[in-house]
């Protein structure tokens, strides 16, 4: 009797816990090669459930996401949730430094929570140059009910997954890089895997009702080129970028560097006909353009042939960056409580200067950060560290915080460790002639300044210490520097990479290892029991849970 009562009680408690838990969103993905014709000629692409872009992930802040991925291609596979912070949980970050890849013919289920974030993000396949072949898609996170959003509900939402595109397969492109060559210029640009002719023969990608306002979610998931995005006859009201509600400035066009996402509103307040949305390359010797038709309901008038011109030069882009400001009065989930409101008043405990460099030694192209060109070991860095055998796989801190000699490049796993909760300033300095774009997993940071020339401590006087946008990608213009500030309050092993596929593939990436000082479960989760184990760790006993 007493036992039955206890069981009933247990059941009630269990039910209560289930109710109290945040909702779950489930996805099943079948990843295959398939034929698509983004530039008019059939070619092989990486598809998810027969689609490119892949199916969107759609959720609200704090939802639990479960994605069961079936790998039906002939290569190992991993997905990264670009910009999703995965608090305490680098176990699900989908980079080769954190997870064992999903082998062909097998499936693996990602489980993670989208904690205290809102906004427009994307996911992509991280191994090799797979992203150049497709496999990416949108990831949108709505505000929880009751948390006000600083603009009225739009009539509808439209994705614009834009990017440069190659007609050669990712394996051919990888072959070029492996043999020391560059992958060269892309063959075109695509919008949601398509490029309209713009001669009146195209089907509309989206149809708007006159007078209504629509929300556009724009992400550049391409391989190397910055793109300018604009729409004939319409302006864009920026409302959010990479998780932050911005001051709602109005733009004719937006420069979207590789890996970046923007959310903008457009109002269908023009003559009810068809219009062309344009994504075109910036800062390149070649001009590649993609078009998509945005129609008004009932329209029978084709779009005007003339496209709105793209802006010219670097200065325009730098000025546009400077106009992006955080809306300090908009309420929203703020994932970084310590650094959120008064980041300008926190004392910097460490300054790390990161310089990219290139080497062509022995006819082989390699890219590096502070002289180290990252190579992924067979055993993921995070797993080796957790098993207590990290030193068999990598050495911490091969690079220094203040590099002086970049003439030599070492190929090795590039792991820098940082003290949990330290407030750190990172300066990216680019001495090369090409634009760089970096992403840091696990965090959002304040992008406080971007200027031509070289950085020195006196430049701190020019930092925006009030309303810089909190985000997770940063572009660095040629012969320029960019500065970010952040609190390392998310324990884990986090990838920082060049979003340029060629640079990333050839070593321009690294990992930050941040360990919980007290090995506390409040700071980081233990190795999930479902985690795949690979490399030489397969032969070792799984350690008892490290965090308590």
222-251: contacts with ligand NAG (CB under 6 A): 247-248
Our finding on whether 207 is near ligand NAG (CB under 6 A) is no
411-430: contacts with ligand NAG (CB under 6 A): 417, 419
Three-point CA angle 190, 192, 198, nearest 5°: 60
Our finding on whether 35 is near ligand NAG (CB under 6 A) is no
| Min CB(501)–ligand NAG separation in Å | 26
Q: Which two tokens stand for residue 128?
A: 């090799």
| Min CB(51)–ligand NAG separation in Å | 12
Range in contact with ligand NAG (rule: CB under 6 A) among 214-222, 324-332, 379-387, 483-491: 324-332
Our finding on whether 206 is near ligand NAG (CB under 6 A) is no
Our finding on whether 534 is near ligand NAG (CB under 6 A) is no
Q: Which two tokens stand for residue 29?
A: 């993905």
- Closer Cβ to ligand NAG, 44 or 72, answer by number: 72
Q: Which two tokens stand for residue 51?
A: 């689609």
Q: Which residues pair with 520 in a beta bridge?
A: none
Torsions phi, psi for 225 (to 5 deg): -95, 135
Contact 276, 303 (CB under 8 A): yes
| Min CB(494)–ligand NAG separation in Å | 14
Q: What is the separation, in whole angstroms, between the first and last Cα of the chain? A: 36
Three-point CA angle 462, 464, 469, nearest 5°: 145
Our finding on whether 300 is near ligand NAG (CB under 6 A) is no
Our finding on whether 103 is near ligand NAG (CB under 6 A) is no
Which segments of 441-524 are extended strands (E)? Answer: 445-452, 470-471, 473-476, 480-487, 492-498, 509-515
List 35, 329, 404, 458, residue binding ligand NAG (CB under 6 A): 329
List 51, 62, 109, 270, residue binding ligand NAG (CB under 6 A): 109
State how beta strands 137-142 and 253-256 pair.
unpaired
List 51, 62, 103, 107, residue binding ligand NAG (CB under 6 A): 107
> Residues 499-518 vs ligand NAG: string with x where CB under 6 A?
----------------x---
| Min CB(347)–ligand NAG separation in Å | 4
- Closer Cβ to ligand NAG, 149 or 307, answer by number: 149
State how beta strands 213-220 and 445-452 pair.
unpaired
Three-point CA angle 340, 342, 346, nearest 5°: 105
Contact 537, 383 (CB under 8 A): yes
Range in contact with ligand NAG (rule: CB under 6 A) among 6-14, 57-65, 260-268, 302-310: 57-65
Residue nearest ligand NAG, CB atom distance: 150
Contacts with ligand NAG by CB under 6 A: the residue count is 24
Contact 108, 511 (CB under 8 A): no
377-416: contacts with ligand NAG (CB under 6 A): 396
- Closer Cβ to ligand NAG, 376 or 422, answer by number: 422
* Residues contacting 33, CB < 8 A, separation 6+: 44, 45, 46, 47, 73
List 347, 407, 458, 461, residue binding ligand NAG (CB under 6 A): 347
Range in contact with ligand NAG (rule: CB under 6 A) among 102-110, 313-321, 438-446, 461-469: 102-110
Instruction: Output the DSSP codes for 198-257.
Output: -SS-SPPSEEE-TT-EEEEEEEE--SS--EEEEETTB-EEEEEETTEEBP--EESEEEE-
List 51, 62, 72, 526, residue binding ligand NAG (CB under 6 A): 72
* Residues contacting 482, CB < 8 A, separation 6+: 427, 428, 447, 449, 450, 474, 475, 476
Our finding on whether 154 is near ligand NAG (CB under 6 A) is no
| Min CB(248)–ligand NAG separation in Å | 4
Residues that bind ligand NAG (CB under 6 A): 30, 32, 58-60, 68, 70, 72, 107-109, 142, 148, 150, 247-248, 327, 329-330, 347, 396, 417, 419, 515
């Amino acid at each position: 009797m007493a036992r039955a009562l206890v069981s009933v009680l247990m059941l009630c408690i269990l039910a209560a816990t289930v109710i109290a838990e945040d909702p779950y969103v489930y996805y099943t993905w079948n990843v295959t090669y398939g034929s698509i014709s983004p530039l008019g000629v059939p070619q092989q692409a990486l598809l998810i459930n027969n689609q490119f872009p892949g199916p969107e992930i759609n959720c609200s802040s704090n939802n639990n996401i479960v994605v069961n991925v079936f790998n039906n291609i002939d290569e190992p596979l991993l997905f990264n949730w670009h910009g999703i912070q995965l608090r305490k949980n680098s176990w699900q970050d989908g980079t080769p430094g954190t997870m064992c890849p999903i082998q062909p013919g097998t499936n693996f289920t990602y489980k993670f929570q989208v904690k205290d974030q809102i906004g427009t993000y994307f996911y992509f396949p991280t191994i090799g140059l797979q992203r150049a072949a497709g496999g990416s898609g949108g990831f949108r996170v709505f505000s929880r009910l009751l948390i006000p959003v600083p603009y009225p509900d739009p009539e509808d939402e439209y994705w614009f997954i834009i990017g440069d595109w190659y007609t050669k397969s990712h394996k051919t492109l990888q072959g070029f890089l492996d043999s020391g060559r560059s992958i060269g210029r892309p063959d075109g640009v695509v919008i949601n895997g398509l490029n309209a002719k713009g001669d009146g023969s195209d089907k509309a990608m989206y149809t708007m009702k006159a007078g209504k306002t629509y929300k556009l979610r724009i992400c550049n998931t391409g391989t190397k080129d910055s793109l300018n995005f604009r729409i004939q006859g319409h302006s864009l009201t920026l409302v959010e970028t990479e998780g932050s509600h911005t001051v709602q400035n109005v733009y004719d066009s937006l420069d979207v560097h590789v890996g970046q996402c923007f959310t903008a509103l457009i109002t269908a307040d023009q003559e009810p006909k068809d219009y062309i949305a344009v994504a075109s390359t910036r800062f390149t010797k070649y001009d590649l353009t993609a078009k998509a038709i945005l129609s008004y309901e009932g329209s029978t008038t084709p779009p005007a042939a003339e496209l709105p011109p793209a802006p010219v030069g670097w200065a325009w882009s730098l000025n546009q960056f400077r106009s992006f400001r955080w809306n300090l009065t908009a309420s929203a989930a703020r994932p970084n409580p310590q650094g959120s409101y008064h980041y300008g008043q926190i004392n910097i405990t460490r300054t790390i200067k990161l310089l990219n460099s290139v080497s062509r030694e022995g006819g082989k192209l390699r890219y590096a950060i502070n002289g180290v060109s990252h190579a992924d070991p067979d055993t993921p860095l995070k797993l080796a560290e957790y098993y207590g055998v990290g030193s068999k796989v990598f050495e911490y801190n091969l690079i220094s915080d203040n590099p002086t000699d970049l003439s030599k490049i070492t190929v090795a796993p590039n792991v820098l460790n940082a003290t949990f909760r330290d407030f750190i300033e990172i300066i990216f300095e680019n001495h090369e002639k090409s634009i760089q774009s970096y992403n840091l997993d696990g965090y959002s940071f304040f992008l406080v300044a971007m200027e031509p020339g070289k950085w020195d401590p006196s430049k701190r006087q020019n930092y925006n210490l009030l309303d810089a946008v909190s985000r997770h990608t940063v572009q660095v213009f040629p012969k320029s520097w960019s500065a970010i500030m952040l609190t390392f309050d998310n324990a884990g092993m986090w990838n920082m990479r060049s979003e340029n596929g060629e640079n990333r593939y050839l070593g321009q990436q690294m990992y930050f290892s941040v360990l919980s000082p007290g090995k506390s479960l409040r700071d980081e989760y233990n190795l999930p029991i479902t985690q795949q184990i690979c490399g030489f760790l397969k032969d070792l006993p799984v350690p008892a849970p490290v965090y308590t």
